[in-house]
Amino acid sequence: MAHAPHCPALMLQGTGSDVGKSLLVAGLARAYTRRGLRVAPFKPQNMSNNAAVTPDGGEIGRAQALQALAARQPLSVHMNPILLKPQSDYGSQIIVQGQVFGTARARDYYGLKSTLLPKALESFDILARDVDLVLVEGAGSPAEINLRAGDIANMGFAEAADLPVILVADIDRGGVIASVVGTYLVLEPSEQARLGGYLINKFRGDVSLFDDGLTAITDRTGLPSFGVLTWFPDAHLLPAEDAVAMDRGAMATQGNGVAPIKIAVPRLGRIANFDDLDPLRAEPDVTLVIVSPGQALPGDADLVLIPGSKATIADLQEFRRNGWDVDLSAHLRRGGSVLGLCAGYQMLGKRIADPEGIEGPPGSIEGLGHLDVETVLKGPKRLVQAMGLDLTTGAAIHGYEMHMGKTDGPGCAVPMVEIDGKPDGAIAASGQIAGCYLHGIFADDTFRNAYLNRFRDGRVQTTAYDAIVERTLDRLADHMETHCDLDAMLALAKGRVV
């Protein structure tokens, strides 16, 4: 396959997972875009249940959607041609160029990589035709040499597409010198030659104190440093890439003491599309509580929000094992509100059936029974950006649908929203419980303001969420300009690897 050698490209690979690659690519995308370059983000293979819908009805990882926003580019399925969406500890749904390709267990997936690499290269070429720079993000680490055979996420892709690579290391977790040097030493000579340098990320304090550390790394690898990035304190204002942010408490918020609204979110094992939560945690009078397994739903919550899931039946079983079904009933008796989005909506109904085994073994399960609806999981998968109307407030809304299955029943006679002219969701007779299939509605400032006002003493002007994200991306680009040698990195991208 002929690639696009005329287009500069640069790949960031990590010395480990969660070193900050996604955020750095977003920052670089905004920085180079502000310099007048047309930039496209690209990740050959991603693993995440946090996905975004593209205008043409495909899906990509949410991190690439944020990077595209940073680059001021429309979303494209080619920005993340291979997306793995875990459904269990052993298997994932495979999305190829935006569409469902199938499901596979981890061991079986490795046999598919030779088929998927040409698709990743095809998408890379398509992007490269129309931009001045492609910023490529690896996954995990190339140091995982046990996974090198058939690799399409790191050095395997870099060699196939002939890309220069910069290593990214996280100093905050400790052992950063060993991380960079160790990664370099376990690579093959051809892969070492592909490395153009390294970046140190998440430094706290006086950067000059690490001068000897940079010397130690360079002496042992011959690689130059492209910069030491200090901790970026506003990272929490940007959408989180995956559920690890929830597990370490990065998504929890505290209200500012002005009529705080407490929203409790059960941390489902296969939680999906939790970008629904990002605009809520940006609100100054909202306290967002992520409830971990083994913990009770807080008794003083105003709202319990049941989020999306990639394994609805399995997560509903876990919901009951944690006693959250009992907590939810007590919450309702106290007069609290409940909202279910997508899978959360399905769980609130009377029954969920999966006769074809789409999300796991075929079967069915009794729902929580708070809405008079039943769901059958079946294809095709619905992927669409949607406009609609909140039928409780009359507010116009926009969001996206990403689900398999159909929900029907008497409860649908009182829908929560209207999507592209069609009713969706249900509201219980008490008015306390509601659910719908539409994701992304809380990113709509008008809807979020109208919805949260029911918990406020008087009307309060809501935060402009999109403006927060835009300002944060600009500050991130400023951060990159200050702490990285962007000129040298661009020169590396233009030189490519011979």
pLDDT along the chain (498 residues), means of 10: 69 96 98 98 95 95 97 98 84 92 80 90 97 97 91 96 98 96 98 98 95 98 98 92 58 53 96 94 93 97 97 96 98 98 98 91 95 95 92 89 94 95 96 96 92 82 89 98 97 78
Q: Give the residue carrying structure tokens 């592209």.
A: 420
- How far apart are alpha carbons 85 and 248 in whole angstroms? 21
The DSSP secondary structure of 361-416, one letter per residue, reads: SSEEEE---SSS-EEE--SSPEEEEEEEEETTT--EEEEEEEE--EEESGGGGS-S
Residue 90 has what pLDDT? 60
Looking at residue 332, the DSSP 8-state letter turns out to be H
Instruction: Give helix 486-495 / helix 21-34 axis angle, nearest 10°.
Output: 90
**Superfamily of domain covering 9-236+472-495:** P-loop containing nucleotide triphosphate hydrolases (3.40.50.300)
Q: Is residue 342 annotated as a catalytic residue, yes or no?
A: yes
Closest listed residue to residue 239, CA positions, set 287, 273, 207: 273
Report the CATH superfamily, name and number, of domain 260-459. Class I glutamine amidotransferase (GATase) domain (3.40.50.880)
CATH 3.40.50.300 in the chain, residue ranges: 9-236+472-495
pTM of the model: 0.92
| Options 78, 403, 439, 479, the catalytic residue | 439
Query: Which listed residue (7, 78, 331, 342) is catalytic?
Result: 342
Residue 339 forms beta bridges with which residues?
A: 305, 434
Identify the three-state secondary structure at position 284: coil
The residues pairing with 238 across neighbouring beta strands, listed in sequence order, are: none
Q: Which long-range contacts (CB under 8 A, 24 or more apart) does 129-132 make?
A: 129/4, 129/7, 130/38, 130/40, 131/7, 131/37, 131/38, 131/39, 131/40, 131/73, 132/7, 132/8, 132/37, 132/38, 132/39
Provide the pLDDT for residue 254.
Answer: 46
233 φ, ψ (degrees, to nearest 5):
-70, -15
Residue 99, token pair as written in the block: 């569409």
Q: Torsions phi, psi of 260, nearest 5?
A: -65, 140
Q: Largest alpha-carbon pair distance within the chain?
A: 71
Q: Provide φ and ψ at 364, rounded to 5°.
A: -145, 165
- Put the strands of the sheet holding 303-306 in their side by side order: 286-291, 261-266, 303-306, 337-341, 433-436, 426-427
C-alpha 41/C-alpha 79 separation (Å) is 6
Per DSSP, which regions of 299-356 are E strands?
Answer: 303-306, 308-309, 337-341, 351-354
For 220, other C-beta atoms within 10 Å of its C-beta total 14
**Separation of alpha carbons 393 and 127, rounded Å:** 41
CA–CA distance, 136 with 96 (Å, rounded to integer): 17
